[in-house]
Chains A and B, each alone.
Chain A
Amino acid sequence: MALFNSPARVFLSATALRLVLLVYGGWQDAHSPMKYTDIDYMVFTDAARYVSKGESPYARDTYRYTPLLAWMLLPTAWQSAAPWSTLTFAFGKALFALSDVLAGWLVVQLLVRCHHFPVERALRYVAAVWLWNPMVANISTRGSSEGLLGVLVAALLWATLTKKPILAGLILGLAVHFKIYPFIYGVSILWWWDAERDGSATASSGLLSKALGFITRSRVKFTAAALVSFVAFNFVMYLQYGQSFLHHTFFHHLTRIDHRHNFSPYSTLLYMSAAGGAETRFEALAFLPQLILAVVALPLVLAKKNLTTAMLAQTFTFVTFNKVCTSQYFLWYLILLPFYLPSSSLIRKPTLGISAAILWIAGQALWLHQGYSLEFLGLSSFVPGLFLAGLFFFAVNVWILGIIVRDGGESAGETTVALK
């Protein structure tokens, strides 16, 4: 298709799609009591309004994010006359949508430079999965901040594969400060970045020299930069907002009860045990399978073979084995999909790919049907409906995860590009 010959056309159409959705969203908000804008965006903008008045963003209930987000959205708190207020209000959404497009651009760059894709092929995959994906455009234009995570992860990969350890570390620190989960990428990048990758291949055999050989210049730089940026961001925010920053951004996630129904296989168990009805405390160990796979096993086995596939598998594992799972979490691994899909057995064997897609969608549909019965019809569908639907969806995800792992072991990795 001629469209994919030109990066400009692909990115312009992706931007146009988001612009249309932004304008439509503004129109729907102004003309219907059913709002296009996401509730979370109201939380962000309320928090930004508090900040503009010199107060803490945590004065807004359920603001559980870094103050950076509220600061970035300060323009939405500007007081102005009617037509301008609509524009300033949409500032954050425009920012999220722009991050989307930027993330897509970074992924295309990486596919071309590190995976040696022809531009046209790279554009085709990124457009299908990310840039033209209506779900992605919809989520960011409704005002969900997940798009920012996309650009941070894409930038992290870009800095890593173009061999800029300090920049990569700084981005990782920021990403973890923003949303804790990207810390899992730190492990794979660290393992991936060995001496050979730095171009100083030393074939040492002794145990001690192997251990010493692990400490390379790049690894040290990357780790130090990540720690510095993570600590610095948190320190600044702590100075500004004290305990409430720590509580809402980090500790809340440790103490939350998560009793509400969600896609996680743990959800029914968590509801039961939070209400005091469980005999064992099995769910207290829920972090073990999740972290053993995402932080230890997957990076160790896959990162050096194929960094992007390892990161995709890590994210997939983290989301699948998490104690809470909502649909916005699916966006976390979507940005990594264009690296994996082209060489995956899901594309090579269409029957496998189509079965995986059908099963994944069926798992969602089954769960959503039960969720609808509960939420809107008031039927007690927790057991067996939601419980089994959650386990089925989990099983489908684990099966797909197995395919990704197998592919990751077989596929070719990316090459790195030194800065010119």
Chain B
Amino acid sequence: MKRRITFIQRVDAGFDPEQAVLTASSLSVRNLDAAREDRITVGLDELPTELRTVLEQSHELHLRWASERPFGAVTPFSSRVSPGLHLNYTPLKSESSSEVLCKLLRTVVAPKSDAQHKDCSEQEESFITPPLLSTRFASSASLQYYTHLPSIQSLVEYIQSIFCAQSRADGPECHTWANALLSADSVDIDYDSISHALTVSGLWTSPPTGGWTEVFQKPASDADQIEFGLLGAEGGLEPEEIKMGGLLAVVGQDNKLKPTMFSFPSRHQPLTEPSSYTVSFASPTGLHPTMSISMPRSSLKRPIAPSDATCALHTYLTLPSVIFGDQYQLATTDPLFLESHNLVALRALAGEMDLEAPDWVVQRWGSTWLLELATPEAEDAANTPDPSNWTATIPLHLRYLPPSETGHRTAHVPWPVVFWACTTEDGTKMGVNPFDRTNLGWDGLFGPRTMFYQLQPVGDRLVEEIDVPVLRIEGGDSYFQGKYIEFGTCVAISLGFMWVLWRLVRVAWSSGVGNKRADAAHDKRE
């Protein structure tokens, strides 16, 4: 088992050498004002059997969870996913239909009684297949799952009860480490069949009150290792590079913190100027909510990318099945429609596209949409400091949900990510980055040499709640009971039927069934 703890300090954050002290057997930090990434790498053979069974059937498994609390980006950890739990998965054998992954997922997600939650029974039924740029060099996983998940409490419990208890990692450190994930801004879990190793990383973009104060003991076993880094980051010489410098140490091996300085190309880059966006739905949402993405015009300057790069602003929507886009409406090339919504084009889409199905018929979790957004004309942005926001709108639709006692149900729609994607013809490979992050759902829709610049979501909560009107059915003595609807419809139809039949009987009575022209004199009557 290997653990890597990286503290990233802002350039202006104060640091006193007393705040990080290395001894022969431990390293302690005190009141450290820094962001933190904590990553544990475990070999397949070190894992409990239950988990190993799942992983042995996987070619790749990538879990991404992001909190719905807003958090700032920290270079080099500037990439984002929509809040919630994302799972990108490629089975080892494409036809292997296994229930073990779903079983694991159900434990981790702890299904709520929420009617909209798409429980995972078999991955073929609840997962969607993201579009691939090229199946030969698949850069994204073959199956994708998402669910709204405000807290990873059950994941942490699972780690504590299965991972901590049944492996060599057992000990108070394991429980403390797992507990700490509850306060993380994002958590990644990665496995691939080439490295045969499972990686769990947590990211905290800001320190707890008073800073980080913790002691890291030298691991008991020689097979285990703790790496420590205290670094700062800034732009490199080349636009695609990030330069980092600071102190590194391996706890128990090194006897002092070693100063270091290195740089590497990175696909995820910070935007040099503050840039933000907010997401909202115009009220009333009705059955056809329109998602608005608003950005201050000052946020929309092209990033400082290599000069030969082509940059475009994108948004990637992760929509649970209750809300969906009409692919024919959004894929239009009609400039009037696109201009009125500040869209350029629909670039990729995947998942549940049925325009007519109610939510309870849909089995897959939902859909994903990559849209290119329009940006204001360059001279506009430069010359006139326009205080108004630039807003892109995306027309969406709601599925019918099952009846409820209140007549409403709540749909949770995570904020999409908004980013610039800059593509160069030739460029450096990004894989050498020790902090590289891929399999985010949207990154695989671009070439391997694309650079991404994320805009920062600004709001109290990065999930929108939409009130979905549903049929109101109550129990008890209320008038809104299902049986009244059944009874009322039945009576109305029967009465209507009898009335028409009665009219027909009277006609037949007075003139006979087969008879023609009851009265020929009517012939010319007006």
- Chain A interface (Cβ within 8 Å of chain B)? 30-33, 42-43, 46, 61-62, 116, 194, 196, 256-257, 259-260, 265-266, 268-269, 271-272, 274-280, 282-283, 286, 289, 292-293, 297-298, 300-302, 304-305, 317, 320-321, 342-343, 347-348, 374-384, 387, 391, 394-395, 398-399, 401-402, 405-406, 408-413
Contact = CB atoms under 8 A, between A and B. Distances in A.
B511 A409 contact: yes
A46 B472 CA distance: 38
Contact of B500 (A194, A375, A405): A405
A30 B334 CA distance: 9
Interface residues of B, number: 72
Contact of A398 (B470, B483, B499, B513): B499
B339 interface: yes
A265 B507 contact: no
A377 B516 CA distance: 53
B184 to A, nearest CB: 35
Given A279-B486, A305-B518, A384-B479, A412 B407 contact: no
> B285, B492, B506, B515 — which one has the most chain A CB atoms within 10 A of its CB?
B492
Nearest to B471: A382
A375 B286 contact: yes
B328 A46 contact: yes
B486 A280 contact: yes
Given A275-B402, A304-B516, A282 B356 contact: no
Given A279-B482, A300-B513, A383-B471, A410 B492 contact: no
B471 A402 contact: no
Contacts of B495: 398
Given A279-B482, A383-B480, A305 B511 contact: yes
A406 B507 contact: yes
A116 B524 contact: yes
> B285, B400, B470, B515 — which one has the most chain A CB atoms within 10 A of its CB?
B400
Contacts of B340: 33
A406 B518 contact: no
Q: Please provide the 8 A-B residue pairs with the shortest distance between their CB atoms, ordered closest to farther.
A: A409-B507, A380-B407, A33-B340, A398-B496, A289-B497, A412-B522, A380-B469, A275-B402
B209 interface: no
Contact of B526 (A31, A61, A304, A342): A342
A292 B336 CA distance: 50
Interface string B456-496: 00000000000111111100000110110110111011111
A409 B287 contact: no
A382 B472 contact: yes
A379 B469 contact: yes
B324 to A, nearest CB: 12
Given A278-B482, A378-B285, 16 more contacts: A33-B336, A42-B328, A257-B358, A257-B361, A266-B489, A269-B485, A279-B483, A283-B489, A292-B497, A304-B514, A305-B516, A343-B525, A395-B496, A401-B503, A402-B503, A410-B519
Interface in B138-159: none
Contacts of B223: none
Nearest to B337: A33
Interface in B365-424: 400, 402-403, 406-408
B520 interface: yes
Given A378-B286, A382-B407, A269 B486 contact: yes
Nearest to B409: A380
B525 A272 contact: no
B12 interface: no
B402 to A, nearest CB: 4
B510 to A, nearest CB: 7
- The DSSP consensus for interface residues of chain A is helix
B360 interface: yes
B24 interface: no
B200 to A, nearest CB: 40
Contacts of A302: 504, 507
B114 interface: no
Interface string B268-292: 0000000000000000111110000
A381 B469 contact: yes
Contacts of A259: 358, 400
B489 A391 contact: yes
A410 B506 contact: no
B316 to A, nearest CB: 23
B353 interface: yes
Contacts of B406: 380
B112 interface: no
B222 interface: no
Given A272-B403, A375-B286, A378-B469, A301 B508 contact: yes
A205 to B, nearest CB: 13
B518 A391 contact: no
B215 interface: no
B287 A375 contact: yes
B517 interface: yes
A32 B499 contact: no
B489 to A, nearest CB: 4
B518 A277 contact: no
A299 to B, nearest CB: 10
Nearest to B501: A297
Given A269-B485, A274-B358, A405 B507 contact: yes
Contact of B488 (A277, A286, A342, A391): A391
A194 B520 CA distance: 19
B297 to A, nearest CB: 22
A260 B354 CA distance: 14
B92 interface: no
A343 B522 contact: yes
A268 B402 contact: no
A274 to B, nearest CB: 7
A160 B333 CA distance: 47
B355 interface: yes
Contact of A272 (B485, B493, B516): B485
A265 B469 contact: no
Contacts of A271: 400, 403, 471
A412 B503 contact: no
A376 B402 CA distance: 19
Nearest to A31: B336
B517 A412 contact: yes
B308 interface: no
B503 A406 contact: yes
Contacts of A347: 526
A268 B471 CA distance: 8
B472 A383 contact: yes
